[in-house]
Amino acid sequence: MPSQDRMNMDKSDRVLYDKLAEEPLLRGTTRKEQFLLAMATGFVHNRRIELGPKEGLFLLKDLHSDEEALLSAVALSLSEDASVVADRSVVLKTAEEFAHAGLQLLLSQIESTEFGTFDKHFEKDLLERLSQA
Amino acid sequence: MRMWQIRGLPVRIKRIRLKNYRQFLSTEMTFAPSETSDLHIIIGRNGTGKTNLLNAINWCLYGDEPHLSQDLPSPCRPNLHAVNGLAAGDELEVCVDVWADADDGTEFTFLRQEYYRQSQEGGAPVRTGAKLKVGLRSAGGDSKYYFDAEGTTVVERFVPKGLRDFFFFDGERLDRYFKEATGQNVRHAVFQISRLDLVERVEENLDKLAIEMRRAAGQETPGAISAADDVERCKNGIRDLDSRIADCQKQIKLAREKFADYADKLKDKPDVKRLVEEREAHQREIEATRTLLSQRNVERHAVLVEGATLGLLKAALDKTRTIIQAKRKRGEIPPAISDHLLKDSVTNNRCTVCDRALDHGSAEHITDLMRVLAESSEVTTKLTALETPIALHLRRIADLPGRLLGLARELARLDGDVEKATKRIAEIDVTLGGYDDAKIVEWQMEYAKWDKEVTANTELLGGLKNQRVGLEADLEAARKRYERALDVASKVSVLRRQLKFCEGAESLAGEAKLRIMTENRLAMEAETQRLFMDFLWKKHTYQAVKIDADYNLDLIHTSGLSWLGITSAAERELLALSFTLALHHISKRDAPIMIDTPVARISDEHRDNFGKILSVVGTTRQTILLFTPSEFSSEIQESMRQGAASVAELTLQSSEEVTTLKEIS
């Protein structure tokens, strides 16, 4: 089986990513950046959903080593077995599932705020979260 | 019949007849004095021909119409109604006839006629001829007539053309007189009443005579020729400089008037040029700040998205770092060191880091380390590779609140700058609201231009005066050289004596001129002060009227301070009227005075006072006043009408071509 060359998303997420890109805070960001934020959102809410039919989102060659480290950290934090970092397919699958769930969470947060004010709420929540961590 | 003398003799106009002159098809006005007054009031709306009455007298006496509007094209002199009735080849006569009486019973008639013929092609009639006829009838009944140039000589004895502005003028002149270059105006007036034109001609001829004598003496003593030439050159140079100085002074006067006009126009107006520039600068600043704001917002969003990704994963990053650190503690991860460095150290038997020679133990330790590294698993390699990025991510998370706070502060500052600039623009818009910006900027440019013109010409004047001082010194030196050259030739002694006499006479004429001017200046000062103080309704405000050696007129407040620049329009006009009447007195010319719109520029509160003063003037000399109905307010009527010898009204007929006069009291 050939190794995975792209990050996947659930086919139904295409429209959701398009919608996410319309939010002023994320205007001009790449699919990779949107994916990483979605993954982080899914992770912090401990929500992961297995992907249905898949579709490529971006090429893995575009993922930098420091970004890949984030994916490994997510996978490693869920398992007591450090060997998970050596299994790239698990690392990628975990990231895709958190991103799938996180994307929906992000969009529901955006929809719950008045248009144009999401960045303010987002910043406030983030700073509160960091001050508590 | 002897040439009559009018100076010192009261004269009054008893009748004016106008035929086909402008609005007046055929009008006759008589001005009979009452027992107590010789004040005559003529009321007429704008366009009925009040100012043209002033023009008619000027045209009759001097052949010009100085009160025509300079801003509008002047319609032809013949009455339009009369012109419309002309057939081709018809002739038309335009005439103004002024009848005057002197106190000794002498009667004068001044008649100016102009003839026109309607051409075959139609249009305006063509002027075919003109003449001035002056009639003189003594109390004894002898009559004599003077025509054209000879008639002009008689007119000059009635009211000299150079002084007419002090007898027939509009009220605006009273308002304007001391706003403009007073020194020039007052000097001109004093010169006119001093009748120094003859002295000036004597001076000029003495100078010409002196030049001829110097030349004649030079023929006898050739050595003196070049010195005489130098004297002449210096004198010509001084004359030329005097002319340039006079031009320069005129230019300064004009520039000061223009400067004052624009200063007046700009008074209480905002500094539009500066405000428009400031507004444009704020608009540019807002644009630039908004661009910066947009850039900073994009930056803030990028920091927020990246920071949020990392911040939300902080727990995962912390846990990963803990796992790696635990493994390293347990020795499950070799130290982070480069395989190449270790190999090089063993090969060279020298530490690649500190450059010391390896002892046996050290070499063995490095070899063991290389073995452990080679044996470490892929997991270990991956974990080792995670250490640096995770440490960096955690540092970024730690820095994130500071970065976001810095950006928020900068964004708030930029927002504040935009708000401040927007507020200032709104303030400027309010200040400029209702003004014609372009017009005010144009005025400001003119103001600056004339200010520059005054400065440039003042500097030029200083330079010219310095040159004149230099030329005077040269002239003195040339004269001495000339004297020395003549000393050797005894045969020119007669010529020398004559020359000396001639030069002495020229110098005395100059001194006499100065003395007469000074006497008349001081007499004008005293008489103006007497009349002004006598007329003025405020008796304790001013202490004196001064005309200094440069002919600058000033009004001195009781505090001793100069007050002319800040006095009210009514007081300023009263001062000009006092000056005018003083000039009549000093010049010994008791001629009529005619003023168009005398109180138009005086505010209501002072009109009454001014009206009373004009009534008083009307008891001492013939005074003809031309009012608009609005100017002839109820207050003015109350103070003047009772005392007036006659009141008449001008009415323009519906055709708008003919004005009629009706006595109303």
In this prediction, residues B254-261 reach a mean pLDDT of 88
pLDDT at B643: 78
**In angstroms, rounded to a whole number, what is the distance separating the alpha carbons of residues A83 and B213?**
132
Q: What percent of chain A has pLDDT over 70?
A: 98
Contacts of residue B200, defined as CB under 8 A and 6 or more positions apart, other chains included, come to B513
In this prediction, residues B341-361 reach a mean pLDDT of 83
**In angstroms, rounded to a whole number, what is the distance separating the alpha carbons of residues B245 and B251?**
10
pLDDT grade, residue B376 (50/70/90)? low
Question: For B211-225, B317-331, B606-620, which range has the lowest pLDDT when averaged over its residues?
Answer: B211-225
Report residue B257 CA to chain centroid gap: 4
Q: What number of C-beta contacts closer than 8 Å exist between A and B?
A: 109
The radius of gyration of chain A's CA atoms, rounded to the nearest angstrom, is 15
- Indicate if the pLDDT at residue B336 is higher than 50: yes
Domains identified in chain A, total number: 1
**In angstroms, rounded to a whole number, what is the distance separating the alpha carbons of residues B336 and B391?**
14
How wide is the angle at C-alpha B608 spanned by C-alphas B606 and B614, nearest 5°? 105
Which chain A positions have a beta carbon within 8 Å of B327's beta carbon? 82
Tell me the pTM: 0.53
Pick from A28, A86, A129: which is nearest to B379 by CB? Answer: A86
Q: What is the ipTM of this complex?
A: 0.96
The alpha carbon dihedral of B1, B6, B12, B13 has a sign of positive
**Chain B contact for A133 (CB, 8 A cutoff):** yes
The alpha carbon dihedral of A17, A22, A23, A26 has a sign of positive
Three-state DSSP class for residue B350: strand
**In angstroms, rounded to a whole number, what is the distance separating the alpha carbons of residues B373 and B362?**
17
Residue A121, in any domain of the structure: yes
Task: Provide the shortest C-alpha distance from residue A85 to chain B (in Å).
Answer: 7
Contacts of residue B241, defined as CB under 8 A and 6 or more positions apart, other chains included, come to B464, B467, B468, B471
Longest C-alpha distance within chain A, in Å?
47
Which chain A positions have a beta carbon within 8 Å of B385's beta carbon? 65, 69
Residue among B270, B375, B277 at smallest CA distance from B333: B375
**Interface contact B311-A29, CB threshold 8 A:** no
**Chain B contact for A61 (CB, 8 A cutoff):** no
Q: What is the pLDDT of residues B452-485, one digit of tens each?
A: 999 999 999 999 999 999 999 999 999 888 888 7
**Interface contact B401-A73, CB threshold 8 A:** no
Residue A108, in any domain of the structure: yes
C-alpha distances in Å from residue B176, one per residue of A19, B171, B172: 77, 9, 6
C-alpha distances in Å from residue B337, one per residue of A52, B353, B370: 44, 11, 10
**In angstroms, rounded to a whole number, what is the distance separating the alpha carbons of residues A109 and A117?**
11
- Indicate if the pLDDT at residue B71 is higher than 60: no
**In angstroms, rounded to a whole number, what is the distance separating the alpha carbons of residues B407 and B255?**
58
Residue of chain B whose Cα is closest to the Cα of A36: B309
What's the token pair of residue B410?
A: 């900068």
- Indicate if the pLDDT at residue B124 is higher than 80: yes
- Indicate if the pLDDT at residue B221 is higher than 80: no
The radius of gyration of chain B's CA atoms, rounded to the nearest angstrom, is 47
Residue A1, in any domain of the structure: no
pLDDT grade, residue B490 (50/70/90)? low
In this prediction, residues B128-152 reach a mean pLDDT of 91
**In angstroms, rounded to a whole number, what is the distance separating the alpha carbons of residues B135 and B330?**
141
**Interface contact B320-A77, CB threshold 8 A:** yes
| Sequence-distant contacts of B289-295: CB under 8 A, at least 24 apart | B289/B414, B289/B417, B289/B418, B289/B421, B290/B418, B292/B414, B293/B411, B293/B414, B293/B415, B293/B418
Buried b (16+ CB within 10 A) or exposed e, A47-79: ebbebeeeeebbebeebeeebbbbbbbbbbbbe
**Interface contact A25-B400, CB threshold 8 A:** no
Interface mutation target, options B313, B384, B415, chain A, most CBs of A under 10 Å? B313
Contacts of residue B99, defined as CB under 8 A and 6 or more positions apart, other chains included, come to B13, B14, B15, B16, B17, B107, B108, B109, B110
- Indicate if the pLDDT at residue B13 is higher than 60: yes
Question: For A101-115, A118-132, B90-104, B440-454, which range has the lowest pLDDT when averaged over its residues?
Answer: A118-132
**Chain B contact for A94 (CB, 8 A cutoff):** no
**Interface contact A70-B327, CB threshold 8 A:** no
Contacts of residue B122, defined as CB under 8 A and 6 or more positions apart, other chains included, come to B88
Q: What is the pLDDT of residues B202-216, one digit of tens each?
A: 888 888 888 888 777
Residue found under tokens 């709306």:
B45
- Indicate if the pLDDT at residue B184 is higher than 90: no
Interface mutation target, options B293, B306, B312, chain A, most CBs of A under 10 Å? B312
**In angstroms, rounded to a whole number, what is the distance separating the alpha carbons of residues B226 and B209?**
18
pLDDT at A2: 67
Which chain B positions have a beta carbon within 8 Å of A44's beta carbon? 312-313, 315
Task: For chain B, list residues whose CB is within 8 angstroms of any CB belonging to chain A.
Answer: 298, 300-302, 304-317, 319-320, 323, 327, 377-379, 382-383, 385-386, 389-390, 392-393, 397, 400-401, 404
Task: Please provide the average confidence, as pLDDT, over all residues in chain B.
Answer: 86
Residue A43, in any domain of the structure: yes
Mutual orientation of helices A65-78 and A88-112 as an angle, nearest 10°? 90
pLDDT at B75: 63
If you count them, how many residues does chain B have?
665
pLDDT at B517: 87
In this prediction, residues A74-94 reach a mean pLDDT of 90
Mutual orientation of helices A88-112 and A31-44 as an angle, nearest 10°? 90
**In angstroms, rounded to a whole number, what is the distance separating the alpha carbons of residues B218 and A1?**
132
Q: What percent of chain B has pLDDT over 90?
A: 38
**Interface contact B305-A86, CB threshold 8 A:** no
- Indicate if the pLDDT at residue A71 is higher than 90: yes
pLDDT at B489: 63
Residue of chain A whose Cα is closest to the Cα of B397: A130
**Interface contact B386-A28, CB threshold 8 A:** no
pLDDT grade, residue B6 (50/70/90)? low
pLDDT at B207: 83
- Indicate if the pLDDT at residue A52 is higher than 50: yes
Instruction: Confirm if B148 and B63 have CB atoms less than 8 A apart.
Output: no
pLDDT at B8: 58
pLDDT at B1: 37
Residue A65, in any domain of the structure: yes
Residue A105, in any domain of the structure: yes
Interface mutation target, options A41, A46, A66, chain B, most CBs of B under 10 Å? A66
Question: For B215-219, B393-397, B440-444, which range has the lowest pLDDT when averaged over its residues?
Answer: B215-219
A23 vs B665, residue with greater confidence: A23
Three-state DSSP class for residue B381: helix
Question: For B68-72, B258-262, B281-285, B633-637, which range has the lowest pLDDT when averaged over its residues?
Answer: B68-72
Instruction: Confirm if B132 and B63 have CB atoms less than 8 A apart.
Output: yes
Which chain B positions have a beta carbon within 8 Å of A122's beta carbon? 304, 308
- Indicate if the pLDDT at residue B2 is higher than 50: no
In this prediction, residues A61-81 reach a mean pLDDT of 92
pLDDT at B227: 84
- Indicate if the pLDDT at residue B77 is higher than 80: yes
Residue among B38, B42, B37, B39 at smallest CA distance from B27: B42
**Domain limits at A84?**
6-132
Question: For A95-99, B399-403, B548-552, which range has the lowest pLDDT when averaged over its residues?
Answer: B548-552
Buried b (16+ CB within 10 A) or exposed e, B91-102: ebebbbbbbbbb
pLDDT at B610: 80
**β-bridge pairing B593-596 and B542-547:** unpaired
Pick from B308, B319, B385: which is nearest to A37 by CB? Answer: B308
Pick from A25, A37, A85: which is nearest to B309 by CB? Answer: A37
**In angstroms, rounded to a whole number, what is the distance separating the alpha carbons of residues B349 and A119?**
60
Which chain B positions have a beta carbon within 8 Å of A127's beta carbon? 401, 404
Residue among B143, B158, B163 at smallest CA distance from B110: B158
What's the token pair of residue B367?
A: 């070899």
pLDDT at B185: 67
Task: Provide the shortest C-alpha distance from residue A125 to chain B (in Å).
Answer: 10
**Interface contact A66-B401, CB threshold 8 A:** no
Question: For the purposes of burial, counting CB atoms within 10 Å of the CB of B459, is it exposed (0-12), middle (13-18) or buried (19 or more)?
Answer: exposed
